[in-house]
Amino acid sequence: MTSGLWELVLQGVWVTIQLLVLGALLATAVSFVVGVARTHRLWIVRFLAGFYTEVFRGTSALVMIFWVFFVLPPAFGWQLVPLWAGTLALGLTYGAYGAEIVRGALVAVDPAQKEGGIALSFTPWQRMRLILLPQAVPEMIPPFSNLLVELLKGTALVSIMGMGDLAFSGNLVRLALQESAEIYTYILLIYFVIAFLLTRVMRGLEKKLKAGVGKSAPRRETVTPEPAGIGGAR
């Protein structure tokens, strides 16, 4: 490929990274707010959080992007630029999946820990901040890592809005070269490299957080065979 086409691909990579970071920030915020609400003592709060989760998990991210970009403008009289429309649609969609991760991790905390906080007269917010979240967050990292990779792959959906992400740029290069195999091989490799780096970063974060609460990843034990004549067959 010529330098001009490579520059187009690199611009697409930058747009994809922007969308990934912004979408991940929004999805993380939504995940914790809705996930914590799913464990609230008031049933109406749990109901509203559960309703949001089921709606956004049960709808297509592609249709949600269409809805945010094409339906909201005539309905409310304002237009989102493609970057913010994509961020909103992907953040809300993947945030619904993340909310279940947060809820599950909070519920999995040992009930004795919660009872200890109550015995110490901690408020619900203090129990959440000082007891539940420090133990639950390290357990959220592996599923959040998978969700982040899914979000990366979901960013390709914004190309339907004409947004110049990696997938859209790759298609423009394909049309210019009239060659599909070469450009799409490069695109696959770029997505793979980004996903690989994400998983490595998240794995390092998991180890750091678990070390902070006195946990470590389980290690595979090796069994050393006994020397002949000691505990062996007689």
24-33 tens-digit pLDDT: 999 999 999 9
User: Which has more pLDDT, 47 or 123?
Assistant: 47
Residue 226: its pLDDT value, please? 44
Q: What percent of the chain has pLDDT over 70?
A: 90
Question: Residue ranges of the alpha helices (H) in 38-132?
Answer: 43-57, 61-66, 72-76, 82-107, 111-119, 124-127
Kindly report the CATH class assigned to 3-212: mainly alpha
Residue 213: its pLDDT value, please? 66
Instruction: Map out the domains of the chain as residue ranges.
Output: 3-212
Grade residue 217 by pLDDT with cuts at 50, 70 and 90.
low
Distance separating alpha carbons of residues 213 and 215, to the nearest angstrom: 6
The answer to whether residue 230 scores a pLDDT higher than 60 is no
The answer to whether residue 224 scores a pLDDT higher than 50 is no
pTM of the prediction?
Answer: 0.84
For 85-107, how does the pLDDT look when each residue is reduced to its tens digit (9 = 90+)?
999 999 999 999 999 999 999 99
User: Which has more pLDDT, 56 or 5?
Assistant: 56
- Give Rg (Cα) of the chain: 23
Residue 122: its pLDDT value, please? 84
- Give the rounded distance of the alpha carbon of 48 from its chain centre: 22
